């Protein structure tokens, strides 16, 4: 008589439907526990896909796990719930405990107080075509942001990293601040309050694809100290930062549209937010679109143009501001900027900025310098004591129109740390123009330790290109024009050495007065408008 085979216990099979774990998807009943239970079951089974069918899933913190894919079907929306009242329990996961970060703000330094978060994970993904709506998230300065599309009046001198509160700010007791003012109560949030749509720390093999993220709080996506990250076909329309890639390596961002009028659209940085000092490296950004329209109006197609604060909407692609770990081996190509600020490469924290190539950009309605390259001496880092010059940076094939008159191409290093080895080629920029002659007499402040934002320097004394403290600058095939007459010179060079300009052109007739060269040496001009000789050099 044969022995019957043992009956194996039932093993859940992928996909793990959150409805089978008790999720209602009615937008009223919190579904956090059900979704987390489905994720835990998939993880316990060795991995799998957790599926959210059509519905509105009201949630606090969803905890991602290794080898688990979260899939939001068409019609599925994860909605960030409102935090509990002050003093009441519950809400979002508390920010992780740890030593105070004296070099970086609370939003960059804490990850668990998010709608979806993961730490030390391997092989995790979130995919659409569903949506994430951060309705109940803070943007870092109050318990809950104002509703999407509602903006509080902004004071004069508003800075992108000094946001006014959306509502009353609870008093928070924080440890004594370090030399850079951190930690401090302005952006420190209590337990129960969430401030990021997606936060990932020290994860590997991450994929975010085919998602829409609306009203994402302080960060719609924050990936810090992660390796092998793919972000593809994301539509983000948000009230602060869109995509922040911080101290990560091997990152691919492609086919993304990011509207972020109040902060940066796609931002690559290397802060000490994760408590480590490491470069951001091996990053590509391709076929992306960034803008600064009124929040929500990229998503609904209206693309409303409303300028509400000094400097205009932000919404750009930027390296920095945080750069203590350095930037290495980065390529940005085939991207479109519209109604936002220009491309910014900012290294003010002493790290390297090298081996960077940027090509095939088109820009319209640019609110400040279409190209801004800055080396500064803020040095907000635990181990860096001096700025470093840049190395091997190429920006090519850029077309920009309707550029605000305050700044042209803006290259600004320091006397002891110049912008070095920068090539600009095949660039065509049309400015609004219209500045008066007295603007040419302005002395531009150095601001070595200041926040590296072009508008803080004020109107530049030239309309086309301004370079100070640069060495090995190569400018080739540059065409610059203005729509209205501008009384400033076109080109201003100050402490620029061992550099060359070839093929500078304008539909305006440029004369020798359009070139101002101060304290410079070895500047060669060839086939360039505004010089009486076809080939000349300045000193």
Whole-angstrom distance, CA of residue 124 vs CA of residue 101: 28
Question: Taking phi first (over 0 means left), then psi (-120 to 50 degrees means alpha), and beta for anything else, what does residue 195 get?
Answer: alpha
pTM for this structure? 0.93
Please report the pLDDT score of residue 307 as a whole number: 74
Question: Taking phi first (over 0 means left), then psi (-120 to 50 degrees means alpha), and beta for anything else, what does residue 466 get?
Answer: beta
Mean pLDDT within 3-14: 49
At residue 437, what are phi and psi to the nearest 5 degrees? -65, -35
Please report the pLDDT score of residue 417 as a whole number: 94
54 DSSP 8-state letter = S
Tokens 């039932």: give the residue.
10
Domains of the chain by residue range: 12-272+286-302, 316-531
- Report residue 76's pLDDT band, with 50, 70 and 90 as the boundaries: very high
493 has a pLDDT exceeding 50: yes
441 DSSP 8-state letter = G
- Report residue 177's pLDDT band, with 50, 70 and 90 as the boundaries: confident
Domain 12-272+286-302: CATH superfamily is Single-stranded right-handed beta-helix, Pectin lyase-like (2.160.20.10)
At residue 40, what are phi and psi to the nearest 5 degrees? -65, -40
Average pLDDT over all residues of the chain: 91
347 DSSP 8-state letter = E
Please report the pLDDT score of residue 182 as a whole number: 82
Q: What is the DSSP string of 398-413?
A: EEEEEE-SS-SEEEE-
Tokens 């093999």: give the residue.
205
Instruction: Give the residue from 68, 175, 190, 98 showing the smallest Cα distance to 138.
Output: 190
379 has a pLDDT exceeding 90: yes
539 has a pLDDT exceeding 70: no
Mean pLDDT within 494-510: 95
Please report the pLDDT score of residue 389 as a whole number: 86
pLDDT per residue over 200-218, tens digit each?
A: 999 999 999 999 999 999 9
- Report residue 7's pLDDT band, with 50, 70 and 90 as the boundaries: very low
């Amino acid at each position: 008589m044969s022995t019957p085979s043992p009956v194996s216990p039932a093993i859940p099979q992928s996909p793990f439907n959150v409805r089978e774990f008790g999720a209602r998807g009615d937008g009223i009943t919190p579904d956090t526990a059900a979704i987390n239970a489905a994720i835990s079951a998939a993880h316990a089974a060795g991995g799998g896909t957790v599926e959210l069918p059509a519905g509105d899933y009201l949630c606090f913190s969803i905890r991602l796990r290794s080898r688990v894919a979260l899939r939001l079907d068409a019609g599925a929306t994860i909605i960030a719930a409102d935090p509990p009242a002050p003093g009441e329990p519950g809400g979002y996961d508390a920010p992780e405990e740890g030593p105070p970060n004296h070099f970086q703000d609370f939003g960059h330094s804490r990850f668990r107080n998010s709608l979806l978060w993961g730490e030390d994970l391997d092989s995790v993904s979130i995919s659409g075509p569903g949506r994430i709506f951060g309705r109940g998230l803070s943007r870092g300065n109050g318990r809950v942001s104002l509703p999407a599309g509602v903006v509080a009046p902004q004071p004069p001198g508003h800075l992108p990293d000094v946001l006014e509160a959306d509502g009353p700010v609870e008093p928070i007791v924080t440890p004594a601040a370090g030399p850079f003012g951190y930690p401090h109560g302005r952006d420190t949030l209590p337990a129960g309050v969430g401030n990021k749509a997606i936060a990932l720390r020290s994860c590997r093999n991450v994929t975010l694809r085919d998602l829409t993220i609306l009203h994402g709080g302080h960060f719609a996506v924050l990936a810090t100290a992660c390796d092998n990250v793919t972000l593809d076909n994301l539509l983000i329309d948000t009230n602060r930062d869109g995509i922040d890639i911080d101290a990560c390596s091997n990152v691919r961002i492609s086919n993304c549209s990011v509207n972020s009028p109040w902060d940066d659209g796609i931002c690559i940085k290397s802060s000490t937010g994760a408590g480590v000092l490491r470069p951001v490296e091996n990053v590509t950004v391709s076929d992306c679109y960034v803008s600064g329209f009124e929040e929500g109006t990229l998503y609904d197609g209206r693309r409303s143009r409303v300028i509400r604060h000094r400097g205009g909407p932000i919404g750009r692609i930027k390296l920095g501001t945080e750069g203590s770990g350095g930037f290495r081996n980065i390529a940005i190509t085939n991207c479109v900027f519209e109604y936002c600020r220009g491309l910014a490469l900012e290294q003010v924290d002493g790290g390297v900025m090298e081996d960077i190539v940027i090509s095939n950009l088109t820009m319209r309605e640019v609110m400040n310098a279409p190209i801004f390259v800055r080396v500064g001496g803020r040095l907000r880092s635990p181990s860096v004591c001096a700025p470093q010059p840049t190395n091997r940076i190429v920006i090519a094939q850029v077309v920009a129109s309707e550029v605000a008159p305050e700044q042209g191409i803006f290259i600004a290093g320091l006397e002891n740390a110049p912008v070095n080895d920068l090539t600009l080629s095949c660039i065509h920029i049309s400015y609004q123009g219209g500045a008066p002659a007295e603007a040419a007499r302005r002395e531009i402040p150095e601001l070595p330790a200041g926040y590296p934002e072009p508008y803080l320097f004020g109107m530049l004394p030239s309309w086309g290109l301004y370079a100070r403290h640069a060495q090995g600058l190569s400018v080739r095939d540059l065409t610059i024009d203005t729509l209205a007459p501008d009384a400033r010179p076109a080109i201003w060079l100050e402490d620029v050495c061992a550099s060359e300009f070839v093929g500078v052109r304008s539909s305006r007739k440029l004369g020798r007065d359009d070139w101002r060269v101060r304290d410079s040496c070895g500047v060669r001009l060839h086939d360039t408008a505004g010089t009486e000789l076809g080939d000349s050099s300045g000193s």
